[in-house]
Structure 1
Amino acid sequence: MFDTETTTLLRAVLDEVCETVSRYETSARAHVASKILEAATRGETSVDGLKQVGRNALREAPMMRN
């Protein structure tokens, strides 16, 4: 689907956007990842644009409750 360089970029954006999210918050991380992938599929390739999409998705992501 994406070349290696783009895949690496998408993973780096996801990791940066979710740096404060626990690795155990899989539903939140999956939600953010899916929104970043959707944006990339639509042609968004700028780092800043992808980060903004990720941040927006993180605000609406399902989180585990204590």
Structure 2
Amino acid sequence: MLDPATTALLRTILDEVCEGVSRSETGLRAHVASKMLDAARNGETTAERLRQVAIEALRSAPTMWR
């Protein structure tokens, strides 16, 4: 389980990275969030690294989600 500060950071970065993605694009947003959660659970907790993970997840998302 992640601490509250990390959880807040994840939400902030998700909103920043997915700024141009409609909130109705739940599959895409969930994909990005999932990759970020995996990274955080594996010790990647800096804002810079989590942002990189999120950007890469957004870029590599299946075409049907873009």
TM-score, normalised to structure 2's length?
0.90
- Name the counterpart of 2:4: 4
- Name the counterpart of 2:59: 59
Aligned residues: 64
Deviation at 1:58, TM superposition (A): 0.2
List runs of 5+ in structure 1 lacking aligned partners. Answer: none
Deviating above 3 A after TM superposition, structure 1's stretches of 4 or more consecutive aligned residues are: none
Query: What RMSD, in angstroms, separates the aligned Cα atoms of the two structures?
Result: 1.0
List runs of 5+ in structure 2 lacking aligned partners. Answer: none
TM-score, normalised to structure 1's length?
0.90
Q: Is the 8 A contact 1:28 1:61 kept in 2?
A: yes
Q: Percent identity?
A: 61
